[in-house]
Amino acid sequence: MVALQRAIRRVKNGKDGLVNIFSDSRSSLEVLAGPKTYHPLAHEARRDISEIVAEGRAVRLFWVRAHAGIAGNERADELARRAALTKKTAADYDRFPLSYAKRVIRAASLEEWQERYAEGGTGEITKCFFPRVEQVYRVLRKTEMTSHLAQTLTGHGGFSQYLHRFKLKDSPYCACDPAKIQDVLHVLEECPMFLRERVALETEIGVIVGRGVSSNS
């Protein structure tokens, strides 16, 4: 984009009636031709093109395939490579597009969120299903949330351990074994009382969820 903007500016400052500019950067050409852009260089280039046209002149932009033996394109690549290796001055352009800033901010936010999520003392059951926070949005946005699914993903539901916590049940243990606490993981992975449902689930999703087995079926 820097090269395109500089080339267009050079045309603007010149006197030629028609100039053809060839570039192997398809993305930059698409930004210039698109209906909306937040790239400051694209705005400058468009403004220069408008002024060129207002003077009764014209500049045309063409895409060429990179590294295809086109003499002018190969020469431009060589000059750019040489300048990058030998020129000891500051960068000609050190700004970046808004889209890049958004990606950086999002990545930093996710990393901070992940640290709080991992170190927090709540949501332990949810962490079993989603160890990383970005998985939550990616999966759940495609999933229809139901009351049973919400109870499963949080552990806040009709499980003896949870009900006992609020004095709604006398014991946190499962009816299948007085030594086994009945939480969502026990029900999903090992409780023999739910063997039929577990097998049906494994058949439907193609994954073995029984405790001690982690491979896909």
Q: Which two tokens stand for residue 16?
A: 């030629």
Average pLDDT over residues 135-160: 91
What was the pLDDT predicted at 76?
Answer: 84
Residues 8 and 59 sit within 8 Å (Cβ to Cβ): yes
H or E element at residue 178:
strand 177-181
Which 8-state DSSP code applies to residue 152?
Answer: H
Residue with tokens 């400058």: 44
The pLDDT tens digits for 164-174 are 999 999 999 99
Q: Which two tokens stand for residue 212?
A: 């001690």
- Note the pLDDT tens digit of each residue in 70-117: 888 888 888 878 877 887 766 666 667 778 888 999 999 999 999 999
**DSSP code, position 97:** -
Q: Centre a 10 Å sphere on the Cβ of residue 204 and count the other Cβ atoms it contains.
A: 8
Tell how strand 173-174 and strand 177-181 pair up. Answer: antiparallel
CA distance 19 to 7: 10
Banded model confidence at residue 217, pLDDT cuts 50, 70, 90: very low
> Which position has the token pair 């698109």?
34
Residue 122, classified by CB atoms within 10 Å of its CB into exposed (0-12), middle (13-18) or buried (19+), is exposed
Task: Indicate the range of 65-69, 116-120, 177-181 predicted with least confidence.
Answer: 65-69
Sign of the Cα pseudo-torsion (48, 53, 59, 60, in order): positive
For domain 1-95, is the CATH number 3.30.420.40?
no
**Mean pLDDT across 177-192:** 94
Average of per-residue pLDDT values in the chain: 87
Q: Where are the domains of the chain?
A: 1-95, 96-143, 155-210
CA dist 142 and 168 (Å) reads 34
